[in-house]
Chain A
């Protein structure tokens, strides 16, 4: 069933702050096999002009996707999560995420489309730090594949 178009433009309340830990960044960098010292060595990060170790560019997704669960699991929207695949992902950074950040995400439904029985949902997650400064915006396209013919 097509999703309700009246949800387009709906924003969800900002999430409780996610505190970015140095060891969490290290764990993520190791999991993607990335030995860039900016992720693990504070002095190396400082030499590049950052106040503390920074996170790899896609780290932000772990935070924004958790926030997008508010949308995905909104019973009023009624998205069938068991059929959802990740279509597109985009980030625009004001600055990299770094250790010590306390980040809050505001999720907004940008578009809802129905194509050949698939529901396509674009969710924007705006990430701000504790002082209210913009850090990164993430755009996530989710596709709920049409249910197979019974």
Chain B
């Protein structure tokens, strides 16, 4: 494993470069195919509204994958991630228009651990609301 960031150069409170990830219906269809999760709440608005959702929603695991990118793009080596967990608190609602939705992700070093590991706390927001809770990754730095 070869993270590009040195442990010694990081301190608590360090902010990782934030990123914004677009999500359209097309994105969700691609993710459904790639992940094997064909639950119709992620592509069929008739079904989604019948089960009480406002519209089609993104796969929680898609949001989790995007949030991870703030960590893996920073660390350089995705294999440096040793732990990663999230709580799915609110759905990312994806309207059927040209714009879709977006997920804004920021991250901050919250703790320095042993063995050159750090804990990064992530925040993911869509339509002004947090969509993940307890989003944390532990990364082994160089």
* A contact residues vs B (CB 8 Å cutoff): 24, 27-28, 30-34, 36, 38-39, 47-50, 54, 56-58, 61-62, 65-66, 85-93, 95-96, 139
Could you say which of A33, A90, A139 has the most chain B C-beta atoms within 10 Å of its C-beta? A33
Residue contact B30 to A58, C-beta cutoff 8 Å: no
Knowing A48-B2, A58-B64 touch, does A92 contact B82 (C-beta < 8 A)? Answer: yes
- Measured CB to CB, the nearest residue on chain B to A50 is B79
| Least CB distance, B30 to chain A, in whole angstroms | 4
Residue contact B78 to A54, C-beta cutoff 8 Å: yes
Which B residues are in CB contact (< 8 Å) with A48?
Answer: 1-2, 76-77, 79
Residue contact B77 to A57, C-beta cutoff 8 Å: no
Residue contact A49 to B1, C-beta cutoff 8 Å: yes
Contact among A27, A50, A90 with B34 in the assembled complex (CB-CB below 8 Å): A27
The distance in angstroms between the C-alpha atoms of A58 and B86, with both chains bound, is: 11
Which B residues are in CB contact (< 8 Å) with A32?
Answer: 31, 34, 62, 65-66, 69
Residue contact B68 to A58, C-beta cutoff 8 Å: yes
Check if B61 is an interface residue, CB within 8 A of chain A.
yes
| Least CB distance, B95 to chain A, in whole angstroms | 19
Which A residues are in CB contact (< 8 Å) with B73?
Answer: 36
In this complex, the interface size class of chain B, counting residues with CB under 8 Å from chain A, is 20 to 34
Check if B35 is an interface residue, CB within 8 A of chain A.
yes
Beyond A27-B33, A36-B78, A48-B79, 18 additional pairs, beta carbon < 8 A: A30-B34, A34-B69, A34-B72, A36-B72, A36-B73, A39-B78, A49-B79, A50-B79, A56-B65, A56-B78, A57-B81, A58-B65, A66-B36, A86-B60, A87-B88, A89-B86, A90-B84, A93-B82
A-B contact pairs, 11 of them (CB 8 A): A30-B30, A32-B62, A32-B65, A34-B65, A57-B65, A58-B84, A88-B134, A89-B61, A89-B88, A92-B83, A96-B81
Residue contact B88 to A88, C-beta cutoff 8 Å: yes
| Least CB distance, A36 to chain B, in whole angstroms | 6
The distance in angstroms between the C-alpha atoms of A56 and B81, with both chains bound, is: 10
Residue contact A57 to B84, C-beta cutoff 8 Å: yes
Check if B37 is an interface residue, CB within 8 A of chain A.
yes
Which A residues are in CB contact (< 8 Å) with B60?
Answer: 86, 89
| Least CB distance, A57 to chain B, in whole angstroms | 5
Residue contact B61 to A86, C-beta cutoff 8 Å: yes
Which A residues are in CB contact (< 8 Å) with B21?
Answer: 33
Could you say which of A27, A95, A96, A139 has the most chain B C-beta atoms within 10 Å of its C-beta? A96
Residue contact A31 to B61, C-beta cutoff 8 Å: no
Which B residues are in CB contact (< 8 Å) with A61?
Answer: 35, 61
Check if B85 is an interface residue, CB within 8 A of chain A.
yes
- Bits for B89-107, please: 1 = Cβ < 8 Å to A, else 0: 0000000000000000000
